[in-house]
């Protein structure tokens, strides 16, 4: 006796959260069944393995049918085939678009193209995430990217509108899209200590301050591309380190203000010129695409690592950066105060976030 | 020209991409009614076209309005080649034809294609202007209301219940016409869908005419079925109960009184038939009718079973004279009728007086192909043929089918008479077809009815009479309707345990729902008897003979199984009994489902005793006593499980006929064995000592095993196949209707009856287990109206389809009620009677319901993102809160827990075909059927929503015919569903309206609305 056909269709579509998770994680039906058995469900419910198998198959089939709709979440809301309560719809969407930290760190800043897709095999091996799940996550990134790439208006709003994600997840996707578009390098060894959250935090600051949208909210790509004019202007900051008097003045202003307040004052004093050169040079180089990509590498190399090797406490870093940015306003010879604030305001936030072990 | 149909095509959405180059579609719509077609403009390059068409107007006869469906076809315009069809929508405009139902059909309909399934949606508005034109000779029956519900619909009151109406139409099946060889599967499927739609329209119209002739205005318990006879044609037949209904209009002030679901049930006369009961003493095959030959068809009419109940001819308060009078009255009222049958399963108060027992009849027929080239020619020539009655071509055909059914009905009628009953209630008919053999079956419950409902007169009159009668509460229906001295079969009678005045049988079987005022002890449960019998493959007459020889044995076995299982549960009555016999190429399957209960009025059932034939063998004895112990333990366990604790009654009060408990504990294989007729069949165990299960008999051994292998549902679950579960009355509003289908392939080797039985038994048990597992989140819950259907699509395939509804109930309240259950139910029964008199309580406000579902609550977003930050604030509202699709509930029950049905919008009767030539790509047979059933649900919901409704009640999947050919990567499925579209209002919302409402029974209903259906 073999079961040829075995289905269950409810007027309200039954969604089992646990099975959904297993499906999203890319487990095959048989793997999912054995995982469920291990969870002790048979003992709790008195069911048999055959029942579990049938139930799992059924849910997988439902999810498979829903997947097409999940690719365009508004469709899920308007379709008539599956009657699903709104809270469940939201859960389905949210979980479908959720991603693994380990996975996103691997592809963050990479071009979302076919070539990368081939690397998914390696990522799967490296992270232990099933290939199927990697594909789903990668395809989600790509799908969101394609849809919002050319759109006007706020990136987060667009994502939310077209994919009906929660605010937090939409912000994460905004970061992913932003990174993918600007191809920021995140995979270098010295960047491995950074979490996706660190990058997403920086992305949000940069989107808010450094993109076209920060100036004009009516242009296409406004939140995705950096403001080219702004990057061009950043060259002007170079005088802060090129002009020897200015640099000295800047240093003395900072040192005066911080004397006695910093535990690492002497180290700071000794390193001031290097640090300042580092930060200003990063700005000046941002006209080249390649240097834009290396932004995070540079920040870590030029600022985070030197400070860390001198064991600056986070609070000292904060005091220093605050003073460092603020003191420029007292430099009479320096005219690009607004530019400096736009640059340094964001950079200060980023650096504080990046500064940890 | 009595009607103008107006149609407007508004827009489409989610259309499929028809032009690969542009990834877009140039869609337009054809609107067709009868032979008139209109087209919209082509809306270029869009998957969401906005046609916003003018009103297309069709001026048509009301006859056509009833028969024809409105046919909407969405196409993709192609300049160079033929336009491609995207899909179709058929809209039955019948609900617009009577005044109280829907006034407009407006909404999004899924665009359906028989090959691709649902492909987007279309927004349509339909209206009908009817001109009054009553002078003409009426061919149409506009205005007659149809209900699938097998009780008087809520918000109506029965003035007269006229009785049985039936009709059938026959046509050639387009699938079997010669043209089918050259047309595409799509064209063939569409021809079939359209033909069936036309035929059901015609059938409904004809039935409507009969109702008008009887001076009725509605059909209740309308059941329409298709017989796909293959080459010999396609039969659409329907039965129903003609009634004159009055719409109740009750002032809002009365609403408050009844707002708990359980209370509602009690107050509404419909759900709440008065005491009528049925009891069965099963007695086994009575008439072995000899095969009769119709002129041109082979036919064998098969021995029929009467599970009777017996009624005491006279006793108690009513006394003899009254009873005689009553009988006289009813007889005169009913004798005018050819068939005093009623498809209702629940009745207005006072309608049902006594119940005799189950009566059934079966007959095996051979289907003959009727060659008619002329007919085929006409059908083939034109795709837009007008439906042609088979009549016009072969006048023989419908008559033949009519004669077949008339024969069976006649038999049922005579069985009922033998039980001292003049009517049959809970009546239904069915067929099972395999190749050219067809088994026709009919069954019902013999009953004595109150004549007042059957004549012109008012309900008030009936009620008065009822008061006079002063029937004993909760047990009257159990009393035997026939003369004790002249019983149609031997049975054990005792004095009623409730009133102690009249005689009752020891077991009662019926096909109707449990009357809500019946005094029941403990809870009920689903009881099934399952049986397979191998049969040799044979042709034509030999085959029919083989089948008819097997049938009596199957009936007998099924009955024995039911009896044993009932005793094992410690119960004494079955309600909603439905026995299905399915014929296949090489086997017969029998499946009986019923809900067992313990009626307080009937005696305590005896146990089951096992006896061996060779009592000398020691180890054998040991084995027997071991089995016996197991059985006794199971009975004790079941009694505990179902809370069956009948009050102790001292022997003296009851009187003699009750055997000593010890004697009774010996099981009858079945009492019926003592009946004379059994000997005609010469069953191996005929004439043996009753009550003893002979274990030497391998069949019996098997029986014992199957008894013990039936696993009770997990704790927190109950199941029944009736509308409501006895002993549970605190339903919450969380309901989930579902359909589950399983097909197993039998290994063709070693097919024995035993192996077959085991396979079939496992199939059903496993299916139930799966259901319990799937629905575990609803615990405590009850599966209601569990409806199993068995079919044998191929040699080694068994298909079981189950439709049911799971309803959650409140456990705490349940505990309370069970404590004082017996007292309460007695009390309840009497108060009910009083409440029943207050008809205004019957709710039916005409006011439109307020939107029954609250806006979605904030979406709970759980940890979906790995980002650890908790410091984001929501910038915008939760995105999913603006869902536009309204919830439509579906249920096989006639009511919705925690809600009031305020309006019936019309009958839903839909037939779909789905076919695929890429079975593997669609996920195999399971993927294919899963998607199709989901689509059928979606289309039903869309039609209900377009009518302005929010639920379908009395929903039933009448047919699910699935055929596959995996080698060719093909599959086809036909599904037929029906139900009543309704508007319901949550009781909690009603409460808001009126202030005097007692709040005690307020249900947490609103929240349930979005979570369930």
pLDDT tens per residue, range B234-257: 889 999 999 988 887 654 333 333
Output DSSP code: residue A138.
H
What pLDDT is recorded for position B323?
46
The whole-number average pLDDT for the span B121-140 is: 73
Which residues of chain A lie closer than 8 angstroms to B925, CB-CB?
A: 4-5
Closest of A321, A354, A326 to residue A340, by C-alpha: A326
What pLDDT is recorded for position B292?
32
User: In this prediction, what percent of chain B has a pLDDT beyond 70?
Assistant: 66
Whole-number Å distance between alpha carbons of B513 and B522? 17
Which residues of chain A lie closer than 8 angstroms to B747, CB-CB?
A: 1-2
For residue range B276-301, list pLDDT tens digits in order: 333 333 332 323 233 333 323 344 44
For residue range A49-69, list pLDDT tens digits in order: 899 999 999 999 999 999 999
As a residue count, chain B comes to 1013
Query: Are B291 and B299 spatial neighbours (Cβ–Cβ below 8 Å)?
Result: yes
Closest residue, chain B, to A21 (C-alpha): B864
| B664 pLDDT above the threshold of 60 | no
Closest in A7, A46, A171 to B926, CB measured: A7
Q: In the structure, what pLDDT confidence band is assigned to residue B633 with cuts at 50, 70 and 90?
A: confident
What are the C-alpha distances in Å from B584 to residues B523, B537, B538, B592, B753? 36, 9, 11, 17, 14
User: Can you tell me whether residue B499 is helix, strand or coil?
Assistant: coil
ipTM of the shown complex = 0.89
Query: Are B275 and B161 spatial neighbours (Cβ–Cβ below 8 Å)?
Result: no
CA distance B270 to chain A (A): 26
End-to-end Cα, chain A, rounded Å: 61
Q: Across B352-366, B600-614, B692-706, which has the greatest mean pLDDT?
A: B352-366
| A139 pLDDT above the threshold of 90 | yes
Q: For residue B243, which phi and psi values (nearest 5 degrees)? A: -140, 160
| B60 pLDDT above the threshold of 80 | yes
Query: Are B1003 and B261 spatial neighbours (Cβ–Cβ below 8 Å)?
Result: yes
The whole-number average pLDDT for the span B844-865 is: 38
Q: Which of B108, B930, B1012 to probe by mutation at the A interface, max A CB count within 10 Å? A: B930
What are the C-alpha distances in Å from B719 to residues B134, B510, B713, B724, B738? 50, 18, 8, 10, 14
Interface of B with A in 769-828 (CB under 8 A): 769-774, 776, 797, 799
For residue range A147-172, list pLDDT tens digits in order: 988 888 888 999 999 999 999 999 99
Whole-number Å distance between alpha carbons of B768 and B781? 14
Whole-number Å distance between alpha carbons of B446 and B426? 9
What pLDDT is recorded for position B498?
75
| B407 pLDDT above the threshold of 50 | yes
Q: Which residue has the higher pLDDT, B305 or B22?
A: B22
Q: In the structure, what pLDDT confidence band is assigned to residue B258 with cuts at 50, 70 and 90?
A: very low
CA atoms within 13 A on the CB side of B581: 29
Q: A104 at the B interface (CB within 8 A)?
A: yes
Q: Which residues of B206-234 are buried (b: 16+ CB within 10 A; e: fewer)?
A: bbbbbbbebebbbbbbbbbbbbbbbebbb
Helix (H) or strand (E) holding B319: helix B319-335
Q: A70 at the B interface (CB within 8 A)?
A: no
Whole-number Å distance between alpha carbons of B240 and B345? 12
What pLDDT is recorded for position B898?
86
| B145 pLDDT above the threshold of 70 | yes
What pLDDT is recorded for position B257?
33
What pLDDT is recorded for position B73?
95
Which residues of chain B lie closer than 8 angstroms to A203, CB-CB?
A: none
What pLDDT is recorded for position A24?
96
Q: Do the Cβ atoms of A99 and B865 come within 8 Å? A: yes
Q: B930 at the A interface (CB within 8 A)?
A: yes
CA distance A277 to chain B (A): 32
Q: Do the Cβ atoms of B774 and A8 come within 8 Å? A: yes
Which residues of chain A lie closer than 8 angstroms to B923, CB-CB?
A: 61, 64
Whole-number Å distance between alpha carbons of A238 and A281? 7
What pLDDT is recorded for position B138?
53
Which residues of chain B lie closer than 8 angstroms to A90, CB-CB?
A: 859-861, 878-880
What pLDDT is recorded for position B424?
92
Whole-number Å distance between alpha carbons of B873 and B644? 58
The whole-number average pLDDT for the span B190-198 is: 89
User: Is it true that the peptide bond before A288 is cis, omega within 30 degrees of 0?
Assistant: no
The whole-number average pLDDT for the span B428-433 is: 92
Closest in B744, B859, B865 to A168, CB measured: B865
User: Which of A227-241, B771-785, B825-839 comes out lowest in average pLDDT?
Assistant: B825-839
Angle in degrees, CA A186, A192, A193, rounded to 5 = 125
Return the number of other C-beta atoms located less than 10 Å from residue B649's C-beta.
13
Whole-number Å distance between alpha carbons of B485 and B893? 40
Q: In the structure, what pLDDT confidence band is assigned to residue B259 with cuts at 50, 70 and 90?
A: very low
For residue range B966-996, list pLDDT tens digits in order: 888 889 999 999 999 999 998 777 665 544 4
Q: A52 at the B interface (CB within 8 A)?
A: yes
What pLDDT is recorded for position B459?
41
Q: Helices (DSSP H) in B569-697: which residue ranges?
A: 618-641, 651-654, 661-664, 676-681
Q: For residue B522, which phi and psi values (nearest 5 degrees)? A: 75, -160
What pLDDT is recorded for position B953?
94
Tokens encoding B836: 């029943």
Q: Do the Cβ atoms of B929 and A7 come within 8 Å? A: yes
Burial class (CB in 10 A: 0-12, 13-18, 19+), B825: buried
Q: Do the Cβ atoms of A80 and B118 come within 8 Å? A: yes
Q: In the structure, what pLDDT confidence band is assigned to residue B791 with cuts at 50, 70 and 90?
A: very high
The whole-number average pLDDT for the span B950-963 is: 92
Interface of A with B in 166-205 (CB under 8 A): 166-169, 171-172, 195-197, 200-201
Q: Do the Cβ atoms of B885 and A200 come within 8 Å? A: no
Q: In the structure, what pLDDT confidence band is assigned to residue B61 with cuts at 50, 70 and 90?
A: confident
Q: A5 at the B interface (CB within 8 A)?
A: yes
The whole-number average pLDDT for the span A329-357 is: 88
For residue range A90-138, list pLDDT tens digits in order: 999 999 999 999 999 999 988 888 767 678 889 999 999 999 999 999 9
Q: Which residue has the higher pLDDT, B166 or B349?
A: B166
Chain centroid, CA B34 distance in Å: 32
Whole-number Å distance between alpha carbons of B598 and B309? 16
The whole-number average pLDDT for the span B780-789 is: 92
What pLDDT is recorded for position B834?
37
Tokens encoding B793: 């699509």
Which residues of chain A lie closer than 8 angstroms to B896, CB-CB?
A: none
Q: What is the DSSP string of A68-134?
A: HHHTSHHHHHH-SSS---HHHHHHHHHHHH---HHHHHHHTTS--SHHHHHTHHHHHHHH---HHHH
What are the C-alpha distances in Å from A147 to residues A72, A140, A219, B233, B693? 10, 11, 16, 54, 73
CA atoms within 13 A on the CB side of A152: 4
Burial class (CB in 10 A: 0-12, 13-18, 19+), B709: exposed
Query: Are A14 and A88 spatial neighbours (Cβ–Cβ below 8 Å)?
Result: no
Q: Which residue has the higher pLDDT, B314 or B528?
A: B528
The residue extents of the domains of chain A are 15-81, 99-208, 227-353
Q: In the structure, what pLDDT confidence band is assigned to residue B798 with cuts at 50, 70 and 90?
A: very high
User: In this prediction, what percent of chain B has a pLDDT beyond 90?
Assistant: 26
Calculate the average pLDDT of chain B.
73
Which residues of chain B lie closer than 8 angstroms to A2, CB-CB?
A: 744-745, 747
Whole-number Å distance between alpha carbons of A195 and B869? 12
Q: Which residue has the higher pLDDT, B975 or B180?
A: B975
Whole-number Å distance between alpha carbons of A321 and A315? 10
Query: Are A305 and A285 spatial neighbours (Cβ–Cβ below 8 Å)?
Result: no
> Can you say whether residue B52 is alpha, beta or left, with left for phi > 0 and alpha for psi between -120 and 50 degrees?
left
Calculate the average pLDDT of chain A.
89
What pLDDT is recorded for position B393?
42
| A293 pLDDT above the threshold of 60 | yes
User: Which of A172-186, B181-195, B577-591, B813-827 comes out lowest in average pLDDT?
Assistant: B813-827
| B618 pLDDT above the threshold of 80 | no
Which residues of chain A lie closer than 8 angstroms to B934, CB-CB?
A: 9, 13, 65, 81-82
Q: Which residue has the higher pLDDT, A238 or B312?
A: A238
What pLDDT is recorded for position B1010?
40
Q: In the structure, what pLDDT confidence band is assigned to residue B132 with cuts at 50, 70 and 90?
A: low
């Amino acid at each position: 006796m073999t079961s040829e056909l075995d289905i269950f269709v409810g007027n309200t579509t039954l969604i089992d959260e646990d099975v959904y998770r297993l499906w999203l994680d890319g487990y095959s039906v048989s793997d999912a069944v054995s995982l469920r058995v291990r969870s002790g469900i048979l003992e709790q419910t008195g069911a048999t393995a055959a029942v579990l198998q049938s139930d799992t198959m059924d849910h997988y089939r439902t999810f498979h049918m829903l997947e097409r709709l999940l690719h365009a979440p508004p469709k899920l809301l308007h379709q008539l085939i599956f009657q699903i309560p709104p809270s469940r719809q939201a859960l389905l969407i949210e979980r479908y678009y959720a991603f693994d930290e380990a996975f996103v760190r691997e592809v963050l800043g990479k071009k979302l193209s076919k070539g990368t897709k081939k690397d998914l095999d390696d990522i799967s091996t490296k992270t232990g995430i099933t290939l199927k799940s990697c594909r789903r996550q990668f395809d989600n990134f790509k799908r969101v990217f394609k849809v919002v790439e050319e759109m006007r208006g706020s990136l987060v709003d667009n994502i939310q509108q077209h994919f009906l994600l929660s605010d937090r997840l939409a912000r994460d996707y905004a970061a992913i899209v932003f990174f993918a578009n600007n191809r920021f390098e995140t995979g270098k060894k010295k960047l491995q200590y950074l979490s996706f959250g660190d990058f997403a935090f920086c992305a949000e600051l940069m989107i808010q301050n450094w993109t076209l949208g920060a100036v004009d909210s009516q242009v296409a790509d406004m939140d995705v591309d950096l403001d080219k004019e702004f990057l061009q202007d950043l060259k002007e900051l170079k005088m802060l380190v090129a002009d020897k008097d200015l640099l000295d003045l800047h240093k003395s202003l900072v040192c005066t203000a911080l004397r006695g307040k910093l535990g690492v004052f002497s180290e700071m004093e000794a390193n001031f010129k290097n640090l300042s050169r580092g930060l200003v040079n990063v700005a000046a180089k941002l006209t080249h695409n390649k240097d834009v990509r290396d932004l995070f590498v540079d920040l870590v190399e030029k600022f985070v690592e030197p400070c860390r090797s001198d064991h600056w406490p986070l609070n000292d870093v904060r005091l220093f950066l605050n003073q460092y940015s603020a003191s420029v306003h007292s430099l009479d010879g320096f005219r690009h105060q607004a530019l400096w604030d736009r640059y340094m305001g964001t950079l200060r936030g980023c650096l504080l976030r990046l500064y940890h072990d | 020209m009595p009607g103008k149909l107006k149609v407007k095509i508004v827009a489409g959405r989610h259309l499929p991409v028809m032009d690969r180059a542009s990834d877009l579609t140039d869609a337009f719509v054809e609107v067709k009614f009868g032979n008139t077609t209109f087209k919209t403009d082509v809306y270029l390059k869009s998957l969401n076209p906005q046609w916003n068409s003018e009103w297309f107007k069709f001026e048509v006869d009301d006859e056509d309005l009833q028969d024809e469906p409105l046919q909407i076809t969405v196409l993709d315009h192609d300049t160079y080649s033929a336009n491609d069809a995207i899909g179709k929508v058929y809209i039955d405009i019948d609900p617009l034809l009577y005044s109280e139902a829907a006034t407009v059909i407006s909404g999004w309909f899924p665009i359906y294609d028989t090959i691709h399934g649902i492909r987007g949606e279309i927004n349509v508005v339909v209206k009908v202007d009817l001109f009054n034109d009553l002078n003409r000779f009426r061919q149409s029956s506009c205005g007659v209301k149809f209900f699938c519900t097998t009780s008087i619909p809520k918000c109506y009151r029965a003035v007269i219940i006229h009785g049985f109406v039936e009709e059938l139409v026959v046509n050639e099946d387009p699938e079997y016409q010669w043209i089918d060889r050259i047309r595409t599967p799509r064209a063939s499927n569409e021809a079939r869908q359209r033909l069936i739609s036309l035929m059901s329209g015609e059938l409904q119209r004809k039935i409507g005419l009969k109702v008008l002739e009887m001076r009725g205005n509605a059909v209740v318990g309308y059941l329409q079925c298709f017989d796909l006879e293959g080459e010999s044609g396609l039969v659409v037949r329907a039965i129903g109960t003609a009634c004159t209904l009055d719409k109740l209009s009750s002032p809002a002030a009365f609403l408050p009184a009844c707002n708990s679901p359980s209370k509602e049930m009690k107050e509404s006369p419909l759900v709440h038939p008065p005491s009528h009961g049925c009891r069965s003493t099963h007695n086994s095959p009575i008439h072995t009718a000899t095969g009769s030959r119709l002129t041109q068809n082979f036919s064998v009419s098969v021995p029929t079973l009467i599970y009777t109940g017996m009624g005491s001819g006279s006793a108690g308060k009513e006394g003899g004279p009254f009873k005689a009078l009553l009988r006289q009255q009813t007889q005169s009222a009913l004798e005018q009728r050819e068939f005093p049958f009623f498809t209702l399963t629940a009745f207005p108060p006072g309608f049902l007086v006594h119940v005799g027992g189950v009566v059934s009849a079966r007959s095996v027929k051979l289907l003959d192909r009727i060659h008619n080239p002329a007919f085929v020619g006409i059908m083939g020539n034109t795709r837009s043929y007008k439906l042609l009655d088979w009549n016009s071509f072969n006048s023989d055909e419908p008559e033949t089918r009519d004669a077949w059914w008339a024969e069976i009905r006649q038999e049922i009628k005579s069985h009922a008479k033998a039980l001292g009953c003049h009517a049959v209630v809970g009546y239904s008919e069915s067929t099972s077809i395999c190749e050219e053999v067809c088994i026709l079956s009919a069954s019902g419950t013999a009953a004595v009815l109150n004549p007042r409902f059957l004549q012109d007169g008012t309900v008030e009159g009936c009620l008065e009479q009822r008061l006079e009668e002063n029937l004993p509460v909760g047990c009257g229906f159990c009393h035997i309707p026939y003369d004790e001295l002249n019983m149609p079969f031997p049975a054990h009678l005792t004095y009623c345990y409730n009133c102690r005045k009249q005689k009752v049988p020891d077991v009662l079987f019926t096909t109707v729902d449990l009357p809500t005022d019946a005094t029941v002890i403990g809870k009920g449960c689903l009881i099934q008897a399952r049986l397979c019998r191998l049969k040799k493959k044979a042709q034509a007459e030999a085959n029919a003979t083989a089948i008819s020889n097997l049938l009596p044995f199957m009936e007998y076995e099924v009955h024995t199984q039911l009896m044993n299982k009932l005793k094992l549960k410690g119960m004494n009555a079955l309600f909603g009994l439905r026995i299905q016999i399915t014929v296949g190429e090489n086997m017969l399957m029998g499946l009986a489902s019923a809900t067992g209960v313990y009626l307080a009025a009937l005696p305590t059932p005896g146990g089951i005793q096992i006896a061996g034939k060779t009592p000398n063998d020691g180890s054998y004895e040991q084995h027997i006593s071991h089995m016996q112990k197991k059985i006794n333990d199971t009975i004790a366990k079941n009694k505990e499980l179902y809370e069956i604790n009948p009050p102790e009654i001292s022997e003296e009060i009851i009187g003699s006929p009750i055997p000593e408990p010890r004697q009774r504990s010996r099981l009858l294989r079945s009492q019926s064995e003592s009946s004379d007729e059994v000997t005609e069949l010469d069953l191996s165990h005929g004439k043996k000592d009753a009550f003893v299960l002979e274990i030497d008999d391998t069949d019996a051994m098997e029986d014992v095993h199957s008894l013990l292998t039936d696993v009770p549902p997990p704790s927190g679950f109950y199941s029944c196949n009736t509308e409501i579960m006895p002993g549970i009355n605190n339903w919450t509003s969380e309901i989930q209707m579902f359909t589950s289908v399983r097909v197993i392939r039998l290994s063709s080797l070693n097919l024995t009856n035993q192996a077959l039985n085991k396979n079939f038994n496992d199939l059903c048990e496993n299916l139930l287990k799966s259901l319990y597992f799937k629905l575990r989140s609803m615990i405590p819950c009850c599966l209601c109206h569990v409806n199993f259907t068995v079919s044998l699509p191929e040699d080694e395939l068994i298909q079981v389809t189950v439709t049911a509804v799971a309803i959650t109930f409140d456990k705490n309240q349940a505990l309370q009620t069970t404590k004082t259950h017996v007292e309460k139910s007695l009390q309840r029964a009497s108060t009910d009677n009083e409440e029943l008199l207050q008809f205004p309580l019957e709710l039916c406000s005409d006011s439109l319901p307020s939107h029954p579902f609250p806006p979605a609550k904030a979406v709970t977003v759980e940890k979906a993102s790995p980002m650890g930050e908790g410091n984001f604030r929501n910038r915008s509202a939760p995105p999913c809160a603006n869902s536009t699709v309204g919830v439509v509930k579906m249920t096989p029950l006639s009511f919705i827990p925690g809600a009031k049905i305020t309006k019936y919008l019309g009958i839903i009767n839909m037939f779909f075909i789905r076919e695929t030539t890429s079975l593997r790509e669609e996920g195999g047979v399971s993927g294919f059927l899963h998607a199709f059933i989901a689509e059928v649900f979606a289309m039903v919901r869309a039609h209900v929503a377009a009518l302005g409704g929010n639920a379908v009640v009395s929903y039933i999947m009448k047919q699910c015919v699935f055929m596959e050919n995996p080698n060719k990567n093909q599959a086809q499925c036909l599904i037929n569903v029906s139900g009543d579209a309704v508007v319901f209002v949550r009781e909690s919302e009603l409460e808001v309206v009126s202030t005097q409402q007692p709040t005690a029974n307020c249900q947490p209903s609103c929240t349930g609305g979005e979570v369930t259906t």
